[in-house]
Structure 1
Amino acid sequence: MTCSLECTQFDLAMELLIENGFDGIAETVGMLMNTAMKLERSRHLNAGLYERKADRIGYANGYKAKTMRTRFGEVDLAIPQTRGTEFYPQSLERGLRSERALKLALAEMYVQGVSTRKVAKITEELCGFEISSAEVSRASQALDEQLQAWRTRPLGAFPYVYLDARYEKVRTGGVVVSSAVLIAIGVSETGRREVLGTSVKLSENEVHWRDFLSSLKDRGLYGVRLFISDAHEGLKAARDAVFPTVPWQRCQFHLQQNAQKYVPRQAMKKTVAERLRSVFTAPTETEALRLLGLFLDDYREKAPDLVLWAETAVPEGLAVMKMPEPHRRRLRTVNMLERLNKEIKRRTRVATIFPNTESCLRLVTAVAMEISDEWEAGKAYLTFE
């Protein structure tokens, strides 16, 4: 009876190919797969359909419909079910493994900055069917568990911590807005750099910064001797709330850029930049303050707005003077973040606009994790005695 049924199904499959040629391949594959799965269930149960045997294992229990997309097109399957024993066709299990591998590959392409349109074209070439942008986004979620584990991993002692914020376009409520991407990089006691964490929210106000810094502290960050960052909105209040005793070094590069806004005449800009540079590169804090005092006196009448700004802003760039002299050059600015920001920009430029903050966080985390691994395996950034 079983042989007769199998032979009949095989004959029908051949007839489909004869009548429809290549157009009938998907239906033919479905018919052969269904027959193979029935045979596999009979072997698992040690009994055919309606066969009475004392040594049978469980019972047949109907079928479950499933449509699979293959390189031949959509294939309609009837997956045999059982009662009293666990069973799943081995052929489909292999297919599921291939499907999971494909999804991981799609997620990796997404992380590498390949556009969803290109991903769809690649899968159509390789697999014979197209993957939609929504499916690519769903596939990328397969990485979430690994990325979340990295974002929440325990931390330790990091004497120097760099903080930065950048912006990415995210669609929310049908409107495209700029979302703040916060990044923390630490230099450990071994002198190596490591990306400590990242966070994406719709703004970089104090609440976002406070939550971000609190999460770093909760994960075990300690031993911080200096924070280095630009004057980001809300960061000062958040630092004072979470790490009140840790001094802050304001990025000297951005201070130089900000100073130019307050210079009243173009002819003065080069001299102002040179005078400020002499303050920042002074050998001691005492000498830096002396040069700053001369600078303020010289420009009090010629550029009052510049002096008003510099009296408060420039001293914020001198906290590095209290750190060991061999470390100062690398602690003056946040330029060490340039490589990471450039790589993030290269990847996010392909995406253009993210559908939500979660997808933005996923991509930024993957890039940060990749760069961090390189840093940890590379040369030391600083040398500690």
Structure 2
Amino acid sequence: MHHSTQENSSVLLEMIQQVTENGESGMLEAMRVLLNEAMKVERSNSLEADPYERNESRLGYANGYKNKTVNTRLGAMKLNIPQVRGEIDFYPSSLEKGLRSERALMTAMAESYIQGTSTRKVTKLLEKICGLSVSKSQVSRVVTELDESLEKWRNRPLGKYSYLLVDARYEKVRVDKTVRDCALLIAYGIDESGKRSVLGTSVSLSEAEVHWRNFFLSLNARGLHGLKMITSDSHSGLKAALKTVFGSIPWQRCQFHLQQNAGAYVPKKAMRSEVAQDIRDIFNAPSKLEAERLLKLTCLKYEEKASHLSEWMESALPEGFSVFDLERSCWTKLRTTNMVERQNREILRRTRTVSIFPNEASLLRLASAILMELDETWIATKRVYLSV
């Protein structure tokens, strides 16, 4: 189903006009126009028929609109939610998706405010978002509602995935009146057809190996199977946890991070670029055999002038060789955690607004909402990430 190009361009013109004439205050109106239009298109798609179109495969009928006011970062937005009658259940996902992470961010800030950990920045943001009418009951109602849907998503059954990419990032969380680093673990999967999914996420202050182990066990318990390789950086406790839970599955240590780690073993600054080039040459070898040959020669080359570097290379670099056992078309995308780093930047962009989370649950809520949104986008676009 496609609305006419003419209609689309008039919506776009209306949005541009709002922003150019009214600056920031026009953003809210522009957003409203866009969401209303997106919901209309979505209704037509769900009904498999445009308004007034005679169509054999029609699944129901448009049934007017219901007004709804929604609080967003830009202010209160009055929306017209399209209604349907007939066999079909319909609620616009554009509204649901757009507002889930919005609500998670809002509640994180609201919780900070209620717990008295609010900074001036948070107070200002809250005034802008919800006119400061943030009551405990209001926040806990939103929290309960959000947590139910996010938990359901986090615990959904998994299936067969060929590749797993995992990563940890750290966020500040207030625990017993002190601010501590909290590990946010994230797992991404690539299935047999080369499509990506966010498989799960977990938050904990616990000792690293236990956290990783429990996270991996939970993926297994949810039905994850069929793995050919796992890619990650060498986080503390990760290797031990992988051995316990995924002992027989090859591990690919991120080549990009390995190259960065080498810097700590280079005795003279002047040697850095030469060492970096040597490591690149090893990783860019056309086969595992050739990579191993080059590694031997490179270790010999640095044996006397940089013995620590030579020893480190001999034990660490082969951890980046697992990818050589896969089809060549997979090498570039599975030899590093670059794909994960890109998603991390998006998470950071949103968590920066909160800066210090009031508790672990609040961090898990916001991270889950952002990741669930990302996962839904990947499902909707049906794009193949890895040509298998």
Residue matched to 1:383 = 387
Residue matched to 2:317 = 314
Comparing 373-382 and 263-272, the one that deviates more: 373-382
C-alpha separation between the residues in 2 aligned to 1:253 and 1:195?
22
C-alpha separation between the residues in 2 aligned to 1:112 and 1:193?
28
> CA-to-partner distance for each residue in 1:64-115, whole Å, 9 max, x for gaps?
xxxxxxxxxxxxxxxxxxxxxxxxxxxxxxxxxxxxx9xx969734437985
Asked if the contact 1:159–1:225 (Cα under 8 Å) also holds between the matched residues in 2, the reply is: yes
Instruction: Note closer, same or farther for the CA distance 1:194–1:370 as it changes in structure 2 (3 Å cut).
Output: same
> CA-to-partner distance for each residue in 1:121-162, whole Å, 9 max, x for gaps?
14655xxx6225885465233211100000000101111100
Q: Residue 226 of structure 2 aligns to a residue in which SS?
A: coil
Asked if the contact 1:226–1:249 (Cα under 8 Å) also holds between the matched residues in 2, the reply is: yes
- 1:174 is displaced (CA, Å) by 1.3
- 1:167 is displaced (CA, Å) by 0.4
Where does 1:263-278 land on structure 2 (aligned, <5 Å)?
A: 263-278=266-281
- Read off the aligned partner of 1:346 and give its amino acid letter: R
- 1:377 is displaced (CA, Å) by 2.6
Q: Residue 170 of structure 2 aligns to a residue in which SS?
A: strand
C-alpha separation between the residues in 2 aligned to 1:202 and 1:290?
42
Candidates 245, 267, 270, aligned match of 1:242: 245
- 1:119 is displaced (CA, Å) by 5.4
C-alpha separation between the residues in 1 aligned to 2:277 and 2:262?
12
Residue matched to 1:261 = 264
C-alpha separation between the residues in 1 aligned to 2:149 and 2:161?
23
Larger Rg: 1
Instruction: Note closer, same or farther for the CA distance 1:311–1:124 as it changes in structure 2 (3 Å cut).
Output: closer
C-alpha separation between the residues in 1 aligned to 2:356 and 2:266?
37
> CA-to-partner distance for each residue in 1:206-246, whole Å, 9 max, x for gaps?
11111000000000000000000000111111111111110
Q: Residue 323 of structure 2 aligns to a residue in which SS?
A: helix
C-alpha separation between the residues in 1 aligned to 2:384 and 2:150?
25
Residue 190 (1) aligns with residue 193 (2):
yes
Where does 1:214-233 land on structure 2 (aligned, <5 Å)?
A: 214-233=217-236
Q: TM-score, normalised by structure 2?
A: 0.68
Residue matched to 2:205 = 202
Residue matched to 2:347 = 344
Instruction: Note closer, same or farther for the CA distance 1:112–1:375 as it changes in structure 2 (3 Å cut).
Output: farther
Where does 1:156-171 land on structure 2 (aligned, <5 Å)?
A: 156-171=159-174
C-alpha separation between the residues in 2 aligned to 1:372 and 1:210?
23
Task: Give % identity.
Answer: 49
Asked if the contact 2:104–2:365 (Cα under 8 Å) also holds between the matched residues in 1, the reply is: no
Residue matched to 1:108 = 102
- 1:342 is displaced (CA, Å) by 0.8
> CA-to-partner distance for each residue in 1:254-293, whole Å, 9 max, x for gaps?
0000001111111110010000001001000010000001
C-alpha separation between the residues in 1 aligned to 2:100 and 2:274?
54
Where does 1:76-225 land on structure 2 (aligned, <5 Å)?
A: 108-111=102-105, 115-116=109-110, 117-118=123-124, 120-122=126-128, 125=131, 130-132=133-135, 135-136=138-139, 139-203=142-206, 205-225=208-228
C-alpha separation between the residues in 1 aligned to 2:196 and 2:165?
10
Residue matched to 2:62 = none
Q: TM-score, normalised by structure 1?
A: 0.68
Q: Residue 351 of structure 1 aligns to a residue in which SS?
A: coil
C-alpha separation between the residues in 2 aligned to 1:279 and 1:137?
54
Comparing 172-181 and 115-124, the one that deviates more: 115-124
Structure 1, unpaired ranges of 5+: 1-100
C-alpha separation between the residues in 2 aligned to 1:124 and 1:182?
31
Residue matched to 2:360 = 357
Q: How much is the aligned-residue C-alpha RMSD, in angstroms?
A: 2.2
- 1:343 is displaced (CA, Å) by 1.2
Instruction: Note closer, same or farther for the CA distance 1:294–1:152 as it changes in structure 2 (3 Å cut).
Output: same
C-alpha separation between the residues in 2 aligned to 1:154 and 1:106?
21
Residue matched to 1:9 = none
C-alpha separation between the residues in 2 aligned to 1:226 and 1:106?
33
Asked if the contact 1:113–1:346 (Cα under 8 Å) also holds between the matched residues in 2, the reply is: no
- Read off the aligned partner of 2:126 and give its amino acid letter: A
Structure 2, unpaired ranges of 5+: 1-94, 111-122
Instruction: Count the aligned residue pairs.
Output: 279
Residue matched to 1:333 = 336
> CA-to-partner distance for each residue in 1:282-325, whole Å, 9 max, x for gaps?
00001000000110000000111111111110000001110111
Instruction: Note closer, same or farther for the CA distance 1:307–1:263 as it changes in structure 2 (3 Å cut).
Output: same
Residue matched to 1:304 = 307
C-alpha separation between the residues in 2 aligned to 1:252 and 1:288?
13
Instruction: Note closer, same or farther for the CA distance 1:112–1:196 as it changes in structure 2 (3 Å cut).
Output: farther
